[in-house]
Structures are given as structure tokens and as C-alpha cells.
Amino acid sequence: MAENSNYTNVEALPEIVGRMHKSFDSGKTRPLEYRKQQIRNVLKMLDENKEELAQAMAKDMGKPRFEAFAHEIMPAEYEAGQFLAHMDKWLKPEKPFLAGEYPIFLFDSGTVQKSPQGVVLIISPWNYPIRLSLNPLIGAIAAGNTVVMKLSEICEHTTALTKTLIEKYLDPDCVQVVLGGPEETGQLMKQRFDHFFYTGNPAVGKIVGRAAMDQLAKVTLELGGKNPTFVANSCLDISTAASRIMWGKTINCGQTCVAPDYVLAEKDVYAPLVKAMSLYPESVFGKNIKSSPDFGRVVSKRQFDRLYNLLSTTKGKFVTGSLEECDPETLYIPPTIITDIGLDDPLMQDEIFGPILPVISIDSIDEGLDIVKTKEYPLALYAFANKKDSSFILQNTRSGSISINDTVLQMVTARLPFGGFGNSGLGSYSGKYSIDVFSHQRTVLNRSISFPPPGVDSVRMPPYENWKY
């Protein structure tokens, strides 16, 4: 974003957040029909502005048009549609039969209500700027909250347009958008919120977590990590494995939180796998990848320099891609497969978050598991293997999610929760799981005043001297 010119004045923050508290307290966001209308407004907003949004994402990171629609706009539309179809059911209170446990509750009722929490702060990242801001927003609204959104300053075109559209289509008593960088976000997090919902890198996740704990507010952290990808000797189809791995690695130019980060290939399949993977870029993007409309760009010079530095310092062998092909002017980094690296290589330290994929040969799955265990728990883990090997990997690892025989697709359905574990996140959301995340499970016990009769009711009260066990 042009140096701070569009950032929200920090002096306005107390009023912006205060307005959301006031509106929540007024009860305006409680009626289900109100919530649904706001979600319909999100759908209308997407429907009437999809081309502009796709163009903004193309400007920010060369996001291919197909990816802008299929990976951003359509998932947000799908999420909104799922809520409109199912939120009545998802929001229904649970009603356990209390007297089944204690007969004294015979004339009573106990419910677990999905109550709104209050004001939710959603801080979203640049890599999937539409779905990662709108999908949590839809869940937070459906649960009856008011929302303050802090969109990423890194994808300036998409952020500016999203702010304008939210202000045009949604009720300002329900959602407010704040713009800014770390400084403004730090000030924003000093305001009172009932829930901090953050998507981004783990280092900032810790800052957000501390800010939430300062207020003892609920916090959800959707973070990242190095996602291991096993390819076992037992994998039935190396060619499909290769293309699914390379697809997951090259969409959005590798800037996907669940992208495969490194491949651990058992030695019998290592050579055919690398060969099959190396054919992928040219087969889908053509001979001149740089001119393909289907391959995106790195989001910023800072990210380009970070990735270029990794490629300059790796001791590995380039199977595809090269330093010479990287172009700082257009922020182009080609799909790059690297082999023959040690675990101390720069590529094996932090999350790569770009179109670079190291492939490591392992003697056994056990050896791969030892490598995975030296790292923080990843957001996603992939296993291309038969049933026996994949369940062995499943049982001997921890991660936010695991997908067997494919990559990335575990996050496309609203019927599975999406989230990390440990360093890759805290809490998960999507579809009905968003209702759980953005609601307070409020216990309500409603007792009869006349049952049990006073003589029985007083058994629990002192004096206790006649009580026998």
C-alpha cells in the first residue's frame, strides 16, 4: 500500500471498535434473518465484482484468472451458500437429556446455546486475500458477531478494492475494515475484542496470541509451516503423485500455506518421481513458462529477495529452474526442483513459501519420520502410499491435516475443518466448524422451582450429619 496513505488513522481506532461493541450490544446482529441478509450481501458483492477482484489479484501477484475464480471467489461463494443452506441447523442449541443421568432433573432442561461472542477481530494475509478474509467473515457474521477486519497491506490492490466493496455492500454496524501495517495492527490489538482470529506466519501469530491473552480473549491462529510430502515405494502411481505434488506446489506461485514444502521419496521411487516431476512445468505452462498466463508471480520484492537468496545459497542440484531465469523486475521465479541437499541446507530450515521444491531420498519411511520430527508440527502433511504405509505415517506424525494421495484439496470442502496444530495453528474453521469457533458454547440450565419437593431438594444442603455413603 502506497506508504501509509490509505492506512487508518490510529486515533480513529477506539471509535471504530467502539462502534462495533455498541452495535453488538444493541442486539442488531442477533436476528438470524439479519445475519443471512449480510451473507447474501457478500454473495451479491462477489457476483457483481468478480472481474474487478480477479484483476486486482492479478495486479498484486499475477494470480491467474482461473485461480482467482476457482481458488478465491468461488470458495467464498461456496462458503456463503453453505451457510445460507445450513446455518439454521448448525446454530441449533444442543439439548442433552439431563434426567437420564440424574433423575432430579426430570422437570428441567439443559441446553448448550451457540451464543455470539461479541466483537471479532479478523487479521488476514495477502496470499489468498479473498477467501482468507471472507470465509472467516461469513462464519463470524453467521454466529451473530460484529467484526473488525484488518486486511493485508501487502496485496494493496485487492485490499483497497475489498475495503471499498465491504463498505458498499455490508452494514457498517456489522463490519468495519481497518487498513495498516504492523504498527497500526499493534495499536488495533490494544482495543478490546472478544475474539482474535489471525491468519499469517507463526512469528506474528505469537504476537497476536499474546495480545489476545493480555485481554484473556479467545484466539484462533491459522499459521504455516514446512509441509512434508512422503512418496513411498508402495505408491501405486508415480506419475499422478508427481503431477499432484507439482500442482500443489505451483498454484499461486507456491505461496500457499498448505503447499508441499519438501518431498521425502523412498529410494526405489526417487528417480522416477523426480523425472516425472521435472516434466510437469513444461507440460502445463508450455516451453516459455514466464509468458504463461497460468503461472503467478511472487508478491513483493522482499519475498523475491528471500527466495532468490535461498536459491543462491542452496548446495543442491537444480533439476528444473535456475538462478539465471529468476527476474527481479517481474518478480518471476520459475518452478524449481532441487535435489541432493542435506538437512542443514537453507531450503530445509523455514517454510519456503514459493515455487521451490526440494526432494530428498530416504532409505525408509522411518528415516523420513525422523526428519519430520526435527521440525515444528506442520499445517499439512501428505502421503502418497498404500493403505498400510499411509496409516503408519498418519499414526506416527502430528499435523493440522493430512491428505493421502493428493495435496491441498483437504481445505476445499466446508465439511472438513481447516486448521493447524502447535506451531502451525490453534483452532480450525470452515462450514459448521466456523460456527463452533465463532460462538460461545453457553450452558443454560433451566430448573423447575417446584420439583423436587422441598424435603428432597434440601438433601444437598447442610447439616450433612445424616448423610451416609
Residues with catalytic roles: 222, 257
- Please report how close the Cβ of residue 126 comes to ligand NAD at its closest, in angstroms: 4
Q: Distance between CA atoms of 357 and 246, rounded to whole angstroms?
A: 9
Q: 392: left (phi > 0), else alpha (psi -120 to 50), else beta?
A: alpha
- My answer on whether omega of the bond before 452 falls inside 30° of 0, hence cis, is yes
Could you give the count of Cα atoms lying within 13 Å of 142 in the half-sphere of its Cβ? 33
Binding of residue 204 to ligand NAD (CB under 6 A): yes
* The binder of ligand NAD chosen from 53, 57, 123, 331 (CB under 6 A): 123
SS (H, E, C) 221-259: EECCCCCEEEECCCCCCHHHHHHHHHHHHHHHHHCCCCC
**Number of residues that make up the chain:** 469
The three-state secondary structure class of 400 is coil
DSSP string, 138-149: HHHHHTT-EEEE
* The binder of ligand NAD chosen from 116, 118, 224, 254 (CB under 6 A): 224
Grid cell in block for residue 232: 513411498
Grid cell in block for residue 349: 530450515
The one segment of 120-128, 313-321, 327-335, 338-346 that binds ligand NAD by CB under 6 A: 120-128
Binding of residue 197 to ligand NAD (CB under 6 A): no
Binding of residue 422 to ligand NAD (CB under 6 A): no
Residue linked to cell 457478500:
42
Binding of residue 223 to ligand NAD (CB under 6 A): yes
By CB under 6 A, the count of residues binding ligand NAD is 29
* The binder of ligand NAD chosen from 420, 428, 432, 435 (CB under 6 A): 420
Q: Which is nearer to ligand NAD, 355 or 420 (CB)?
A: 420
The one segment of 28-36, 46-54, 108-116, 177-185 that binds ligand NAD by CB under 6 A: 177-185
Q: Which is nearer to ligand NAD, 185 or 278 (CB)?
A: 185
* The binder of ligand NAD chosen from 84, 207, 279, 394 (CB under 6 A): 207
Binding of residue 126 to ligand NAD (CB under 6 A): yes
Pairing of strands 336-339, 356-362: parallel
Residues that bind ligand NAD (CB under 6 A): 123-128, 132, 150, 152-154, 181-182, 185-186, 199-201, 204, 207, 222-224, 257, 351, 353, 379, 420, 425
